[in-house]
Structure 1
């Protein structure tokens, strides 16, 4: 009877703390483990998964929310993609054939505004390899680009890896080339802070006046910038990718009509190669004049103007909740983002499985035995092993 009392006590404790545990394990804000996110439309940011069982490599790419992973795709081969912006759950729509979502059976045939990449087929980085990669013997961290949201091995970024908040890959830098101007300026500031031997730039009235009266579109062409700088002395700096917080920008920048044009007048250049790591608050330094806003929209990076779009802001919203101080949050704080997602997904899967076991035992009026718990853990371990091995051969 003592064993029964202990099992009942653990059962009571579990149900008493289940809601808190659910929130703690779903630290990614906005990711609901019970309700399909489809009715919320294109969610600003949420955890997104892909099902290799339902939509294999030959199929159209499709993404599903956390709740659908738990309720509709239990036991399937799942790719964990971390978070995606402006994504609507695809589960059960036209991409899944006859497969129907158990939570929201009726959905549009497709979500036309969703963006997809090779991540949805379990491949990542410019090397187009799976993660984890059984053939890769190098222990390398992966970092997500904040624009295309693909994941990259640090050794494939072609730059010095820095401990910064956000990264933009080289391809995305070239798609929004005005970002090189900001990167060059920030690199120059860092170089000046480290070496102390870079001459100060004279900011004369002509520069400020031309900035204040100009309302032309910002230069988004690399060729155009080169023509503007032709015949003008420039200062080149090493392609370093670590910066100061840049909170001490010249006061003049705050008064000019276009920050981008102001930076361009400094004629600071840097090799436009490799990914760029950005410090905190870098988005706040981007110009928001009318012409620059148009350039962001034209380059499909308008979300950079939204400070709450970042993954860091998204995670902070979750940590600001009461469950943010849960001991598990301390444990995950030392992990990189890929490890955090794997840990959270595994714990959430375990919590769901334990709930199902307790419900079954309660319905059948049986006691939860040690053997049943061991069997459950063995099933979870086998499922994890299948996820790790399937699709990487």
Structure 2
């Protein structure tokens, strides 16, 4: 599932498994770890972080890029916000007081187009709780809505969680209510695609329509005879059919939304909705529907490169794909990958225990102590090898 569980950036909260390790690497891979992204303007999608050391005031939320998190805020209380859409790095602007960005010192006071939510103050979900939440006794994962980009506990989504690629929370569905119509047809897995209450004839109509309409809404090609026909040289008012881009002529491109509405398939209108990876390509892009997306502020749904899957793929195509850790795991066979992941998890647990022990005894974490810890881990691994366990 591409809508993944949030991964805490602090060592205390480090949980490494095969899926999470690969996913975190891909999120980082899509962003530049050396150069501040500010000069690029409002980046379509990038990894964003918040610094609780520099901007603890919830009324002045701020986000920083990956490079600034690494270079300007080393040793600070940083927490990961995953990826954000159309965001410009705030590091060193007026929200940071006297603190200056080391990579790009000259910045505007504020980035007026940035959108902030309670994630920037470490709060998530409709329950407005922190993550990780030490008071929460339920072992629950969090999933990000692709529209508002907030994170939600699965138990607060008011729906059955599906192993699909993108999720839209209930509030965002209601802000763009036409999505409920699409949800009745596009939000289920292939095995469930034919609704159990849907008449066979209606299901066949829908299947034929999807196969024939494909994804584009290009204007019908103009014939040579039409091109040679003289046209008026003066402006004219557009007709209602022109404005809706769904004229009644048989050669016109149909509005997919209207077609789905005509099928009268039973649909729910509560809870979050999970979507397959191809769902955006099946949204109608006629003029009328485009206007509806803009009005609901979800116009980015028409951009297939906006998805997290596209962002991750872009990261894998970049030089970061040759990052030592990425290269190391990709060159391993299945057994070696699992050994590596289990080793990372064991080492993280051991280091955390060492830090807690030293803190409890008011001692510094010395190089000697870390060396001894690594020696113990190495000896344990050797014992496992000798006894036949990995």
Provide TM-score, normalisation by structure 2: 0.64
In the alignment, the residues of structure 2 paired with residue 85 and residue 215 of structure 1 have an alpha-carbon distance, to the nearest angstrom, of 33
The question of 1:290 aligning with 2:287 is answered yes
Number of the residue aligned with 1:143? 143
**SS of residue paired to 2:280:** helix
**SS of residue paired to 1:296:** helix
Aligned length: 282
In the alignment, the residues of structure 2 paired with residue 214 and residue 118 of structure 1 have an alpha-carbon distance, to the nearest angstrom, of 43
| Residues 1-393 of structure 1: pairs in structure 2 closer than 5 A | 25=25, 28-186=28-186, 191=192, 193=194, 195=196, 198-201=199-202, 256-321=253-318, 322-323=321-322, 326-328=327-329, 371=368, 374=371
**SS of residue paired to 1:326:** helix
**Stretches of structure 1 lacking an aligned partner (at least 5 in a row):** 1-23, 219-253, 334-339, 351-368, 378-393
CA contact (8 A) 1:184 1:270 kept: yes
Cα 1:255–1:186 shift into 2, 3 Å: farther
In the alignment, the residues of structure 2 paired with residue 64 and residue 108 of structure 1 have an alpha-carbon distance, to the nearest angstrom, of 14
In the alignment, the residues of structure 1 paired with residue 87 and residue 93 of structure 2 have an alpha-carbon distance, to the nearest angstrom, of 14
CA contact (8 A) 1:29 1:314 kept: no
In the alignment, the residues of structure 2 paired with residue 217 and residue 113 of structure 1 have an alpha-carbon distance, to the nearest angstrom, of 30
Shift of 1:42: 0.5
CA contact (8 A) 1:29 1:46 kept: no
Provide Cα deviations, 1:44-75, integer angstroms capped at 9, x if missing partner.
Answer: 11100011111113441100001111111111
In the alignment, the residues of structure 2 paired with residue 53 and residue 373 of structure 1 have an alpha-carbon distance, to the nearest angstrom, of 27
Number of the residue aligned with 1:244? none
In the alignment, the residues of structure 1 paired with residue 127 and residue 57 of structure 2 have an alpha-carbon distance, to the nearest angstrom, of 17
In the alignment, the residues of structure 2 paired with residue 80 and residue 316 of structure 1 have an alpha-carbon distance, to the nearest angstrom, of 20
In the alignment, the residues of structure 2 paired with residue 330 and residue 195 of structure 1 have an alpha-carbon distance, to the nearest angstrom, of 45
CA contact (8 A) 1:192 1:198 kept: no
Aligned-residue CA RMSD (Å) = 3.6
Cα 1:112–1:287 shift into 2, 3 Å: same
